[in-house]
Structure 1
Amino acid sequence: MAAWWSGISGFEKFFWALAIPFTALFVMQMGMLILGLDNGIDTPDINDSIDFDVKSDVDIDADIDMNLNPNVPLKLVTLRNIIIFFTIFSWTGIMGVRHGYSKMLTIALGIILGTIVIVILSSVYKLIFKLTESGNMNLKNAIGATGEVYLTIPDNGKEGGKVHVIFQSSLREVPAITYGEKLKTGTKIKVIGIEQNFLVVKSLEENHKGDIYNG
Structure 2
Amino acid sequence: MFVWWNSLSLASQIFVLIALPSTGILLIQTILMLIGIGSDSDVDVDGDIDIDADVEIESDGVFGSGEVEGDIDPTGLDALRVFTVRGIIAFLVVFGWTGFMLDRAGMALWTVIPIAAIAGFIMMYILALLMRAVMKLRNDGNIDNKNALGTSGRVYLTIPPTRSGEGKVNVLLQGSYVERDAVTDEENAIPTGAEIVVVGLSGQTTLVVKRK
Band the TM-score falls in, shorter-chain normalisation: 0.5 to 0.7
Alignment of 1:143-162 (within 5 A): none
CA 1:142 to 1:43, structure 2 compared with 1: closer, same or farther past 3 Å?
A: farther
Selected match of 1:95 from 87, 97, 101: 101
Bigger CA radius of gyration: 2
Equivalent residue, structure 2, for 1:76: 82
CA 1:83 to 1:164, structure 2 compared with 1: closer, same or farther past 3 Å?
A: farther
Selected match of 1:174 from 167, 178, 181: 178
- Equivalent residues of 1:41, 1:55 under 8 A apart: no
Structure 2 runs not aligned, ≥5 long? 66-73, 152-169, 180-194, 199-211
RMSD (CA atoms): 4.0
- Equivalent residues of 2:18, 2:93 under 8 A apart: yes
C-alpha distance in 2 between matches for 1:51 and 1:99? 41
Equivalent residue, structure 1, for 2:207: none
C-alpha distance in 2 between matches for 1:116 and 1:26? 16
C-alpha distance in 1 between matches for 2:26 and 2:87? 10
For 1:105, give the aligned amino acid: T
Q: CA deviation at 1:14?
A: 0.7
CA 1:55 to 1:114, structure 2 compared with 1: closer, same or farther past 3 Å?
A: closer
C-alpha distance in 2 between matches for 1:117 and 1:164? 31
C-alpha distance in 2 between matches for 1:52 and 1:69? 17
Answering whether residue 21 of structure 2 is matched by residue 21 of structure 1, we say yes
Q: CA deviation at 1:127?
A: 3.2
C-alpha distance in 2 between matches for 1:85 and 1:163? 32
SS at match of 1:174: strand
CA 1:69 to 1:24, structure 2 compared with 1: closer, same or farther past 3 Å?
A: closer
Equivalent residue, structure 2, for 1:210: none
For 2:145, give the aligned amino acid: M
C-alpha distance in 1 between matches for 2:147 and 2:59? 29
SS at match of 1:138: helix
CA 1:141 to 1:55, structure 2 compared with 1: closer, same or farther past 3 Å?
A: farther
Structure 1 runs not aligned, ≥5 long? 59-66, 144-161, 176-194, 199-214
Q: CA deviation at 1:21?
A: 0.9
- Equivalent residues of 2:29, 2:38 under 8 A apart: yes
SS at match of 1:37: coil
Selected match of 2:119 from 109, 113, 116: 113
Q: CA deviation at 1:16?
A: 0.7
How many residues align? The count is 148
Q: Percent identity?
A: 26
Q: CA deviation at 1:55?
A: 5.9
- Equivalent residues of 1:29, 1:38 under 8 A apart: yes
CA 1:11 to 1:120, structure 2 compared with 1: closer, same or farther past 3 Å?
A: same
Q: CA deviation at 1:29?
A: 0.8
CA-to-aligned-CA distance 1:143-175 (integer Å, 9 cap, x gap): 9xxxxxxxxxxxxxxxxxx999659xxxx5338
Q: CA deviation at 1:86?
A: 0.2
Q: CA deviation at 1:54?
A: 1.8
CA-to-aligned-CA distance 1:166-190 (integer Å, 9 cap, x gap): 59xxxx5338xxxxxxxxxxxxxxx
Q: CA deviation at 1:93?
A: 0.7
Equivalent residue, structure 2, for 1:54: 61
- Provide the TM-score with structure 2 as the length reference: 0.55
